[in-house]
Amino acid sequence: MAFDFNLYSTPLLFGFVQGWVYAVLFWLRGWRQGRLSDVLFGCLLVTFVFEIWEYMLGFGGVEILWQELSFFPRTFSLLLPPLAYFYLKSQFNVDFRFQKRDFWHAIPFLLDAGYHLIVFAQGQAFVKYWEENVHGPLYLDFIELGARFASQILYFYWAYQLFREYRQWVPSQYSDTESISFAWFRNFLLAFLVSNLFGWAMTLLDLWLQLDFWHDWWDELFNAALIYYLAIAGYAQMQPRKLHFSDTSEPENATVSKLEKLTESDLQRLKNQLERLMAEEKAYLEPELSLTDLAQRLSTNPSILSAVINATLGKNFNDFVNEYRVDAVKKMLKDPAASHYSLLGIGLECGFNSKSTFNRVFKKIVGIAPGDFAREG
């Protein structure tokens, strides 16, 4: 059967092809680099692809889904929200691997797909009977819609909570948060939310106005555009360093318990060792310095070191390191031997890894931009 390329089918076909091409690219990169997050993102793109293929084939004049494959499972809608959630988990924690307890996240999809497959396997005559006498009268379509709606709300909430916890965790672990992109993760969550909201708005309009196939199209076009955005932006975004954040990490009260076991002399000793390491070895000059790096050099636990910084210095790891960098910048600005450096060059020499980070951190700590400070000096 020939595919009809028209105003309605062609944009969806482009999104369909784009999704598959980038899914393969993500899978290949995930295999080469051992990144589970890339594998999951490729699967996520495929689920989006199957959100638009019904309309793509319908507008293209391919009727197989409504004839030979009537009632066959056509989408992975109930897998899309869990995939989005687990994609974030695997991005935030390179050590994340699926456990047996994670299997239950697939149960709603498996139950729905199994139900459709069992009915479909009875033949088309039975499918027609079932739709007219059971599926329709019992409003099972609406139950499936409700399950998708509940799944989207629940997993968006979990994903958002995970993102918030991650953002709070990062400054306590890394001296440079610029390279651990918040923007992409935020935009990914927004895309997930907007896609769901737009889809449900069109569903309500469809139920209210009884839109026909040709007018109930805009959310499909939106999803095709979303596939383009997610594929290109997701593949091009800077891959964060190997993060080890987990929402099942050691709880705060466990860290406090360890800290309480330290004597005052232990705290002072660790504080002195840390300050000596920063002053003598100038560890702050390393742009990608992390809490784990310093903990290894001091032969202690990262959670203990973080607690020591918080308790004895009253700040998080990120602020602690960046104050050393800002002080180094101030000294270089006053040093005639450094007059051949540009302002950005000085920032880079002192451990900052980008202009935006340098300007933001300097203004946060000093109160004015580095350029204004240099002119005043």
Which CATH number belongs to the domain containing residue 282 in this structure? Answer: 1.10.10.60
User: CA–CA separation, 298 vs 317, rounded Å?
Assistant: 15
The single residue listed with the structure tokens 């999704």 is 19
**243 inside domain:** no
- Name beta bridge partners: 106: none
Domain span holding position 332: 252-376
- Ramachandran area for residue 349 (φ above 0: left; ψ -120 to 50: alpha; else beta): alpha
Question: Is residue 93 domain-resident?
Answer: yes
pLDDT score for 225: 94
| 352, HSE (Cβ side, Cα atoms, 13 Å) | 25
- Number of CB atoms found within 10 A of residue 266's CB: 14
pLDDT at residue number 256: 54
Nearest to 295 by CA among 349, 258, 257: 258
Answer yes or no: do 299 and 367 share one domain. Answer: yes
- Assess if residue 3 is contained within a domain: no
Q: Is residue 298 part of a domain?
A: yes
Task: Please indicate, yes or no, whether residues 227 and 266 belong to a single structural domain of this protein.
Answer: no
Alpha-helical segments (H) within the chain: 9-33, 36-59, 80-92, 107-120, 124-130, 140-169, 182-209, 218-236, 252-260, 264-280, 291-297, 302-308, 317-334, 343-349, 355-366, 370-376
pLDDT attached to residue 203: 85
Tokens 């980070």 appear where?
Answer: 357
Q: Is the dihedral of CA 109, 111, 116, 121 positive or negative?
A: positive
Same domain, 209 and 78: yes
Q: Give the domain-ending residue among 186, 207, 236.
A: 236
Same domain, 71 and 207: yes
Q: Does 26 map to a domain?
A: yes
3-state DSSP assignment of residue 205: helix
Total of domains in the chain: 2
Of 236, 268, 298, which residue constitutes the final position of a domain? 236
Residue 269 is assigned to a structural domain of this protein:
yes
215 and 263 housed in the same domain: no
Query: Is 176 contained in some domain?
Result: yes
For tokens 């482009």, the residue is 14
177, 310: one domain: no
Same domain membership, residue 152 and residue 49: yes
| Domain end (from 212, 236, 260) | 236
Residue written as tokens 């955005």? Answer: 229
Which parts of the chain sit beneath pLDDT 70? Answer: 1, 179, 239-241, 247-262, 377
Q: Give the predicted TM-score (pTM) of the model.
A: 0.85
| Same domain for 313 and 204 | no
Q: Is 185 contained in some domain?
A: yes
Nearest to 350 by CA among 362, 368, 340, 364: 362
Helix/strand/coil for 244: strand
> For 175, which DSSP code?
S
* Pair 262, 216 in one domain: no
Distances (CA, A) of 36 to 76, 96, 375: 20, 8, 49
Give the pLDDT of residue 345: 94
pLDDT of residue 52: 93
Residue 284 and residue 231 share a domain: no
- 178 — phi, psi (to 5°)? -65, -40
Both 91 and 152 in a single domain?
A: yes
Note whether 205 and 279 are same-domain residues.
Answer: no
